[in-house]
Amino acid sequence: MRTGSVSGSRLTGGMAAFVLAIGLGGCAFSDDVTGTVAKAGPPPARAAAPPPRVASAPTGSSHPDMQPAALRAAEANFSRCIAGLEPKARQAGVSAAGFRRLTAGLTPDMSIMKKLETQPEFSRTPGEYVEMLVSETRIQKGRQAMAENAAVFQAVERTYGVDPYVVAAIWGIETNYGGARGSYPVIQATATLACVGRRQAYFRDEFVAALRIVDRGDIPESHLRGSWAGAFGLTQFMPTAFQRDAIDFDGDGHRNVVDSVADAMGSTANKLKRGGWKPGMSWGYEVVAPRNFDYLLADKSIRKPLREWAALGVTRASGQAFPNGEATAYLLLPSGANGPAFLMTDNFRAILSYNPADAYALAIGHLADRLRGGGPFVTPWPEDMRMLSRAERSELQQRLASRGFDPGSADGTMGQKTRVAVREFQVSVGMLPDGHPTGDVLDRLRN
């Protein structure tokens, strides 16, 4: 079904048609935005699936399914595992012929297991992560990409009420505006994760969804390449997210987020709207807390109108007033009390629906502001902050539990329960209770 088509619109600014080289192939941007708006050139021809990798190397994970013996057993059982998923695929609408064709000769890529344990949101500090992504090069390239696709972004905002700068920021951070989409065959990557490692239950749905995308003709298999985790396209949709949120925005009869800028931007805006985006509202504000501020209020579960935060002495770092005092927000300290602080609105949570990592959503919001002409954050990121490895995060959780605090499972994931437990521990030993799990907190727990 044709949804929010941009057919008949034209780019403004008198820009001539030209070809911009982006990543895997040439991307032709035309000043005539009709049914073939900004179609990216085809990716390289499909390469043969790589042979199985040796799975005996340690991954650094304590999870039983990530141990060398378990990985070897899963690798040996891979073909049987895939065959066992046929009923699930058929129930989801994959044809019998399609399942046989797309899984014939499929082998696992065991190199993915290492990547499963080294995601950048966890190995870098929030400041390093944000500054890496919101670079001057990406800002300038994003402004150029938005100008070249002005009619698409205008139609996206008109149709969905989503800030086009946020949509463009997702494009920029996910694939550098199409230049870094990833080269992993999505079907092989999701098949590997569906049958090997610690997240099989989650990735079985992704694998089946990837099969369905190709089987129904949305995207050719040779074009369905992306990250090691199975995300693909200009704004990196997971297969199940594609099934739920992708739309045919250019009206050509296909939901092709790989080759059509219009489909990718429209689908991204649709996903944000479904995630709760509210028109006319910022994603958040950099703020400054007063002296002797009660950092126990820095909790995602504590939401207050902006006017109430202002009454507590919390002010915008820019010195400007909050534009809507009735909008509710929570206080986020991504690097603890010594780094930048932010009041996050419902639209920040909408960005989190795209990727649930705070540092990721913060980078998206900040890049969007920079694309529209805003400046850097006012408060500098702390330079002496040490992030914890997964093993250290698990140790921190175990030590918190041994002292009577409840951090949840000792899985190395710093969720809300762990942050509350950290804050309670900080209060008990006289540390500033910002709930931030740093090396200093772990050192105090060890002593």
Query: HEC profile for 269-291?
Result: HHHHHHCCCCCCCCCEEEEECCC
pLDDT value of position 52: 44
pLDDT value of position 134: 97
Strand arrangement of the beta sheet that strand 341-344 belongs to: 304-305, 328-332, 341-344, 284-288, 315-316
User: Mean pLDDT for the chain?
Assistant: 86
**Model pLDDT for residues 306-360, shown as the tens digit of each residue:** 999 999 999 999 999 999 999 999 999 999 999 999 999 999 999 999 989 899 9
Q: What letter would DSSP give residue 389?
A: P
In this model, does residue 12 exceed pLDDT 60? Answer: no
Please give the C-alpha separations between residue 256 and each of 11, 229, 244, in angstroms, as whole numbers: 21, 19, 14
Task: Report whether 40 contacts 286 (CB < 8 A).
Answer: no
**Model pLDDT for residues 108-149, shown as the tens digit of each residue:** 999 999 888 765 445 688 999 999 999 999 999 999 999 999
pLDDT value of position 43: 40
Q: Which two tokens stand for residue 105?
A: 């000769």
Burial class (CB within 10 angstroms; exposed 0-12, middle 13-18, buried 19+) of 435: buried
Higher pLDDT, 228 or 19: 228
pLDDT value of position 10: 24
Higher pLDDT, 3 or 58: 58
Task: Report whether 382 contacts 337 (CB < 8 A).
Answer: no
> Where residue 59 falls among pLDDT bands split at 50, 70, 90?
low
Higher pLDDT, 17 or 117: 117
Task: Report whether 427 contacts 433 (CB < 8 A).
Answer: yes
What is this structure's pTM?
Answer: 0.80
In this model, does residue 395 exceed pLDDT 50? Answer: yes
| The Cα angle at residue 204 between residues 266 and 265, in degrees rounded to 5 | 10
> Where residue 63 falls among pLDDT bands split at 50, 70, 90?
confident
**Mean pLDDT, residues 181-205:** 96
Phi-psi category of 61—alpha, beta or left, where left has phi over 0 and alpha has psi -120 to 50?
A: beta
pLDDT value of position 334: 93
In this model, does residue 41 exceed pLDDT 90? Answer: no
pLDDT value of position 384: 82
Give the DSSP H or E segment for 28. Answer: strand 25-29
| Beta strands, E only, 63-207 | 184-185
pLDDT value of position 37: 33
Please give the C-alpha separations between residue 96 and each of 86, 103, 219, in angstroms, as whole numbers: 8, 11, 19
Q: How far apart are CA 250 and CA 139, in angstroms?
A: 26
DSSP helix/strand/coil, 151: helix
